[in-house]
C-alpha cells in the first residue's frame, strides 16, 4: 500500500508550520534575543539635517560618560579606509559621514557602551556643527541646471544624475504611435514608501582575536552576500567570516542591503575586543534603511479604435536618495521595470529611464517588489485603466481582448522577456464572477440612491519571479543561482540546508514538503536549516520571491540526486538490476513483483551498513540550481469600494484575488503570503507613504506618521486559485511572495477612480487618503504627487 502524500506532509499538504512551535512559545531567536558574555551596546547618532557640511564634531562629553567604551566618527573610520563602502549597485555609500551629511538621519557617529541607555545618553552629548546647504527633495530639483551637487565625493560625477537607461525599439514604437487612432496618456507618481517589517535591523558582531574569526549575527535576508561583501571590503579572509541570520522578524527587502550599522559594529568589536550589539530603533529604520518606490512615470499607449494596443511608451524618473544602493541585478538600472505589459500581446514598446540623487535616504528597490516589478505592474494597470476609459470600453473586455492567449506561449513580451505559460482569461473570468461584475450597475445605482459612490477596480498581471539565469542576472558580479544540501541519516531522517533565508515564508516547513514529495520521507523527519554561512551552501538569499523558483528547485534536484543513488542501493538490496526497479512514494520495488521492495529508510540504513561493492558510503548530496528562465505567476485582483462623498473616506466592500503561482507546495502558506501582500497593497493605496518637506525633513519616520493599517481597517480577502504549472521548474512551482503586493495597489486605486469617473477625475496618486479623494471629487481635478507638508492656511 503506497504512502498518502498529504499524510506524510508532501506537496499539496497544508502542513502546520514547524517554526510555529518556538514562535508561539516566545522562544524565537531574533538578533536582539542573542546575548554573548561581555557584550557591549551600540547606538548611532544621526544627522538632524538633510544636507550640510560638517564643520566640527565634539565627542568629548560622550567619552567622559561612565560606561562609554568607544566613540567612533567618520574621521576614525576614514583612517581605516572604512568611511565609505560599496553598494550593491556599484556606487559608494557613507558608513559614517566625513565631509557632509547628505540626508536626514544619515549616520554621523557611533557610541559603544555598557548598555543602550548609556549609549543613547552619550549620543545626546555629542555636539556636531553643521553648515546647512541647499536641499534637494525630488528629481525635478535634482535635474535643475543650478542644482547643488549632492555627490561631490564622486570623481567624475556631474550634476545629480545617477543613470540613463533605455530598452525597447524606439523607431518601431514611434511608428506605432504615428499610426494610432487614439493615444492615451497618463502621468503617475508611485510614492516613496518603506518595507517596515516590525523587527528593525540589527547586528551582533563578535571578533575573536584568538582565532581571528569574525561572527556576525544579523538581520539579513542574504547572509552569503554579506559574507562576500565583508570579505571584499574589510579584507578579512572569507573562511574566517561567519554570518548568521537567525530568526528574522520580517524582511520584505528591507534586510538585503548592507547597512552602516553592521559595518560599524564589526569594527567596534575588533577595536573593543568584545561582542558589540547594534539594534536600531524604528526611526532609524524608517529614516535611513532601504526604502521602496519613489518613481515618476509618463506613460503613453497607442491604440487602434477597436481597442487593440499597438504600442507602449514609458518614461520613468526614479529618486534614489543620496546613494545608489538598489539591491537588484546589476545589468538593469531600473530593475525589471521593463517587465510591464508582459501579459498583453503588444507588438512594440520603448522605455527611457533616468535616475537621480536627492537628499533622502538611499535605496529604492526594496519592499516586496521583485526589483521594481511593483512599479511596473502598477503603472501598467493604471495605464490600461486610463486607456479603456479614453476609448469608452469596458475595463474587463479591454484587458481580455489584449491578453496573450493561452496557446500563444512561449511569448516574447514587448520589452523582450520570454513568458512561458498563462491562463489570463480564466483568472479574469473567475474574478469577475466572484465580484459580481455582471450585477454591478444595479449595485452602483442602489448605492447612489443612498448618496454613496461605488467603484470596481481590476488589476491583471503576470510578473517575473525567480531571478535569475546566469546569462543575464548577477549582483556585484555574483550569479543568482541557489543551492540545497541534503543528508539522509542512517535511520532515514534527514537534514536539509539551503542558500535561502526565510523571514516568515515558512521554509522550515515547505522545503521538507518538497523532499517528502521526491523521496517519500515524512516531512516531520526532515530538519531544515538556513542562514549560517559556515554550514549553508552558497545562495543569494530570499527576496524578489526567488526562493521557491530557485532554492526550491535546488531542493527538488538534490532530492532526485539522492533518489538516483538510493535506486542503485535498492537494486543491490533486492538483488535485481537497476532497470528492473520502479519507484513509488517512499519505496523502490521490483517491476515484476510489486510486493518485493525496500523503503527509502532501508536504503538509507544500507548506505551506512550494506553498500554495493565500489559505492561510496553515505547518502547525501548537494545541488546548485541556475534557473533556465524566470517564472511567471499571474493574477487577477478585483476591488469593490464605496466612497462617502461628504468625507472622501472609502471602504472596501469586497476584494477578490485569483492567483496562479503554479503548483502550490503548501496551500495554507501560499494563502498567507497572498493575504499579507494584499494588506501591504491596501496600505500603500490608502495611507502608507513617506515624504520630505522642502527642508528635507522626513515625514513618515515613525509609526505615528508612517501609517500601517490595523486589523480594524484591513479588509477581508476572498482567495481563488488557478494552477498552471511552470513548464521549466522541477516541481512546476512559480513563487508567490510578492504577487499580491505587485498587483494589489492598482486594484484599489482603479476602484476609487472608477467611482469618481463620472466627475471627470482620471488620477489620484497614492496614498488615496480621504482628503485627496474629497478634493478630486469636489473639484473634478486630478490629484498628483505627494500630500503637502508645509503648514499654512
Residue closer to another protein by CB (options 211, 793) is 793
CB nearer to another protein: pick between 440 and 720? 720
| Nearest-approach distance from CB 48 to another protein, in angstroms | 13
Min CB(12)–another protein separation in Å: 16
Nearer to another protein, 7 or 55 (CB): 7
Expressed in angstroms, the distance from the first to the final Cα of the chain is 79
The residues annotated with a catalytic role in the active site are: 221, 368-369, 738
Least gap, CB of 536 to another protein (angstroms): 19
- What is the C-alpha to C-alpha distance for residues 472 and 486, in angstroms, rounded to an integer? 28
| Part in contact with another protein (CB under 8 A); list of ranges 118-126, 161-169, 557-565, 726-734 | 118-126
DSSP 140-207: HHHHSTTPPPS-TTSTT--TTEEEEEEEE-HHHHHHHHHH-SEEEEEEEEEEEE----SS--EEEEEE
Cis before 186 (ω within 30): no
What does the alpha-carbon distance between residue 793 and residue 789 come to, in Å, rounded to a whole number?
Answer: 12
Strand ranges in 95-172 using DSSP code E only, listed in sequence order: 100-101, 107-113, 127-132, 161-168
Contact 511, 496 (CB under 8 A): yes
- Specify the DSSP class assigned to residue 405: P
- The closest alpha carbon to 92, from 252, 265, 255, 325, belongs to 325
- Contact call for residue 788 and another protein (CB under 8 A): yes
Cell of 706: 508612517
* Sheet of strand 107-113, all strands in order from the earlier edge strand to the far edge: 68-73, 107-113, 40-46, 276-279, 202-208, 213-218, 241-244
- CB count within 10 Å of CB 608 equals 14
Helix (H) or strand (E) holding 278: strand 276-279
Contacts with another protein in 703-742 (CB under 8 A)?
703-705, 707-714, 716-717
User: Residue 6: what are its φ and ψ, rounded to 5°?
Assistant: -65, -40
475 or 783: whose CB is closer to another protein?
783
Task: Output the smallest distance, CB 759 to another protein, in A.
Answer: 16
Q: Is 460 helix (H, G, I), strand (E, B) or coil?
A: strand
Letters for 13-42 (x = contact with another protein by CB under 8 A, - = none) are ---xx-xxxxxxxxxx-x-xx-x-------
Pick 227 or 507: Cβ nearer another protein: 507
Residues 630-649 that bind another protein (CB under 8 A): 646-649
* CB-nearer residue toward another protein: 195 or 355: 195
Our measurement of the distance from residue 515's CA atom to the centroid of its chain's CA atoms, rounded to an integer in Å, reads: 26
Q: Minimum distance between the CB of residue 352 and another protein, rounded to whole angstroms? A: 32
| CB of 437 vs another protein, minimal distance in Å | 23
- State which residue, 114 or 524, has the beta carbon closest to another protein: 114
* 59 three-state secondary structure: coil
Nearest distance from C-beta of residue 710 to another protein, angstroms: 4
- Do residues 528 and 18 make contact, with C-beta atoms less than 8 angstroms apart? yes
Q: Which stretch binds another protein (CB under 8 A): 181-189, 388-396, 453-461, 701-709?
A: 701-709
User: What's the closest the beta carbon of residue 586 comes to another protein, in angstroms?
Assistant: 26
484 closest CA partner among 527, 521, 530, 525:
530
Which residue lies nearer to another protein by CB, 39 or 270?
39
Site track for another protein across 184-213, x = CB under 8 A: ------------xxxxx-------------
Q: Name 666's bridge partners.
A: none
Here the cell at position 179 is 499610426
Query: From the CA atom positions of the chain, what is the Rg in Å?
Result: 27
Residue among 51, 148, 63, 145 nearest 109 (CA): 63
At CA 492, angle to CA 486 and CA 496, rounded to 5?
A: 20
Closest to another protein by CB, 184 or 502: 502
425 binds another protein (CB under 8 A): no
C-alpha cell of residue 681? 497593497
Q: Which is nearer to another protein, 556 or 746 (CB)?
A: 746
Binding mask 649-668 for another protein (x = CB under 8 A): x------------------x
CB of 291 to another protein, least distance (A): 15
Give the relative orientation of helices 600-609 and 553-574 as an angle to the nearest 10 degrees.
70
**Sheet bearing 587-590, strands edge to edge:** 581-584, 587-590, 593-599
Enumerate residues 6+ apart whose C-beta is below 8 A from 410: 418, 419, 420
Hey, which residues between 288 and 327 contact another protein (CB under 8 A)?
none
By CB under 8 A, the residues from 666 to 685 that bind another protein are 668-669, 671-672, 675-680
Quick one: which of 524, 770, 781, 782 contacts another protein (CB under 8 A)? 770
Nearest to 539 by CA among 498, 506, 497, 511: 498
Q: Phi and psi at residue 610, in whole multiples of 5°? A: -155, 60
Cell matching residue 366: 526594496
Specify the DSSP class assigned to residue 550. Answer: I
User: How many Cβ atoms are within 10 Å of 305's Cβ, its own excluded?
Assistant: 10
> Would you give the binding string for another protein spanning residues 51-70, x where CB under 8 A is met?
---------------xx---
Find the binding residues for another protein in span 225-284 (CB under 8 A): 247-252, 281-283
How far apart are CB 661 and another protein at their closest, in Å? 16
Judged by CB under 8 A, the chain residues 496 through 525 that form the site for another protein are: 503-506
Nearer to another protein, 478 or 789 (CB): 789
Minimum CB separation of residue 42 from another protein in Å reads 13
- The residue count of the chain comes to 793
Q: How many residues bind another protein (CB under 8 A)?
A: 88
Amino acid at each position: 500500500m503506497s504512502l498518502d502524500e498529504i499524510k506524510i506532509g508532501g506537496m499539496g499538504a497544508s502542513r502546520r508550520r514547524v517554526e510555529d512551535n518556538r514562535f508561539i512559545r516566545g522562544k524565537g531567536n531574533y538578533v536582539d534575543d542573542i546575548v554573548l558574555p561581555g557584550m557591549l551596546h551600540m547606538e548611532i547618532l544621526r544627522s538632524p539635517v538633510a544636507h550640510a557640511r560638517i564643520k566640527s564634531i565634539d565627542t568629548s562629553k560622550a567619552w567622559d560618560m561612565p560606561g562609554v567604551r568607544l566613540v567612533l566618527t567618520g574621521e576614525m573610520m576614514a583612517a581605516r579606509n572604512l568611511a565609505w563602502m560599496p553598494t550593491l549597485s556599484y556606487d559608494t555609500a557613507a558608513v559614517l559621514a566625513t565631509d557632509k551629511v547628505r540626508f536626514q538621519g544619515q549616520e554621523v557617529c557611533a557610541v559603544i557602551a555598557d548598555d543602550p541607555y548609556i549609549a543613547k545618553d552619550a549620543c545626546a552629548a555629542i555636539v556636531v556643527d553643521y553648515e546647512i546647504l541647499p536641499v534637494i527633495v525630488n528629481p525635478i530639483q535634482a535635474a535643475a541646471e543650478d542644482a547643488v551637487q549632492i555627490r561631490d565625493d564622486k570623481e567624475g560625477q556631474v550634476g545629480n544624475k545617477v543613470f540613463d537607461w533605455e530598452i525597447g525599439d524606439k523607431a518601431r514604437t514611434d511608428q506605432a504611435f504615428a499610426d494610432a487612432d487614439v493615444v492615451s496618456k497618463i502621468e503617475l507618481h508611485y510614492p516613496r514608501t518603506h518595507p517596515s517589517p516590525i523587527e528593525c535591523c540589527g547586528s551582533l558582531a563578535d571578533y575573536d582575536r584568538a582565532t581571528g574569526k569574525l561572527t556576525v549575527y544579523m538581520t539579513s535576508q542574504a547572509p552569503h552576500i554579506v559574507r562576500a561583501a565583508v570579505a571584499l571590503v574589510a579584507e578579512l579572509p572569507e573562511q574566517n567570516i561567519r554570518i548568521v541570520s537567525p530568526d528574522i522578524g520580517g524582511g520584505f527587502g528591507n534586510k538585503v542591503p548592507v547597512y552602516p550599522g553592521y559595518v560599524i559594529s564589526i569594527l567596534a568589536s575588533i577595536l573593543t575586543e568584545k561582542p558589540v550589539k547594534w539594534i536600531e530603533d524604528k526611526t532609524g529604520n524608517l529614516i535611513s534603511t532601504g526604502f521602496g518606490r519613489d518613481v515618476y512615470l509618463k506613460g503613453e499607449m497607442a491604440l487602434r479604435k477597436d481597442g487593440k494596443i499597438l504600442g507602449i511608451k514609458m518614461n520613468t524618473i526614479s529618486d534614489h536618495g543620496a546613494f545608489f544602493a538598489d539591491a537588484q541585478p546589476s545589468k538593469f538600472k531600473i530593475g525589471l521595470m521593463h517587465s510591464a505589459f508582459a501579459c498583453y500581446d503588444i507588438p512594440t514598446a520603448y522605455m527611457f529611464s533616468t535616475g537621480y540623487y536627492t537628499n533622502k535616504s538611499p535605496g529604492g528597490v526594496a519592499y516586496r517588489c521583485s526589483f521594481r516589478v511593483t512599479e511596473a505592474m502598477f503603472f501598467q494597470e493604471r495605464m490600461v485603466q486610463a486607456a479603456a476609459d479614453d476609448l469608452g470600453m469596458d475595463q474587463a473586455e479591454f484587458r481580455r481582448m489584449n491578453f496573450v492567449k493561452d496557446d500563444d506561449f512561449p511569448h516574447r513580451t514587448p520589452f523582450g522577456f520570454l513568458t512561458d505559460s498563462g491562463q489570463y482569461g480564466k483568472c479574469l473570468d473567475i474574478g469577475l464572477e466572484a465580484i459580481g461584475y455582471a450585477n454591478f450597475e444595479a449595485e452602483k445605482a442602489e448605492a447612489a440612491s443612498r448618496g454613496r459612490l461605488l467603484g470596481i477596480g481590476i488589476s491583471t498581471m503576470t510578473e517575473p519571479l525567480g531571478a535569475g539565469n546566469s546569462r543575464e542576472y548577477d549582483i556585484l558580479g555574483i550569479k543568482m543561482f541557489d543551492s540545497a544540501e541534503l543528508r539522509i541519516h542512517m535511520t532515514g531522517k534527514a537534514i536539509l540546508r539551503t542558500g535561502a533565508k526565510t523571514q516568515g515564508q515558512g521554509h522550515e516547513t515547505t522545503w521538507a514538503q518538497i523532499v517528502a514529495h521526491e523521496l517519500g520521507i515524512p516531512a516531520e523527519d526532515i530538519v531544515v536549516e538556513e542562514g549560517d554561512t559556515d554550514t549553508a551552501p552558497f545562495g543569494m538569499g530570499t527576496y524578489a520571491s526567488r526562493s521557491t523558483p530557485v532554492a526550491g528547485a535546488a531542493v527538488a534536484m538534490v532530492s532526485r540526486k539522492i533518489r538516483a543513488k538510493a535506486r542503485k542501493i535498492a537494486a543491490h538490496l533486492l538483488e535485481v538490476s537497476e532497470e528492473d526497479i520502479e519507484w513509488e512514494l517512499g519505496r523502490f520495488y521490483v517491476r515484476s513483483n510489486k510486493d518485493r521492495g525496500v523503503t527509502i529508510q532501508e536504503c538509507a540504513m544500507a548506505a551506512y551498513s550494506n553498500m554495493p561493492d565500489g559505492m561510496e558510503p553515505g547518502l547525501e548530496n548537494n545541488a546548485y540550481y541556475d534557473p533556465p528562465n524566470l517564472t511567471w505567476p499571474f493574477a487577477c485582483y478585483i476591488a469593490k469600494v464605496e466612497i462617502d462623498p461628504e468625507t472622501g473616506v472609502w471602504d472596501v466592500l469586497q476584494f477578490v484575488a485569483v492567483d496562479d503561482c503554479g503548483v502550490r507546495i503548501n496551500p495554507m502558506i501560499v494563502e498567507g503570503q497572498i493575504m499579507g501582500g494584499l494588506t501591504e497593497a491596501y496600505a500603500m493605496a490608502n495611507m502608507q507613504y513617506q515624504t520630505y518637506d522642502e527642508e528635507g525633513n522626513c515625514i513618515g519616520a515613525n509609526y505615528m506618521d508612517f501609517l500601517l493599517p490595523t486589523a480594524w481597517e484591513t479588509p477581508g480577502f476572498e482567495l481563488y486559485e488557478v494552477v498552471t504549472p511552470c513548464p521549466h521548474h522541477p516541481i512546476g512551482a512559480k513563487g508567490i511572495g510578492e504577487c499580491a503586493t505587485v498587483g494589489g495597489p492598482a486594484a484599489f486605486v482603479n476602484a476609487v477612480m472608477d467611482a469618481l469617473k463620472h466627475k471627470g477625475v482620471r488620477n489620484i496618486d497614492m496614498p488615496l487618503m480621504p482628503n485627496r479623494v474629497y478634493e478630486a471629487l469636489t473639484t473634478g481635478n486630478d490629484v498628483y504627487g505627494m500630500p503637502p507638508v508645509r503648514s499654512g492656511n
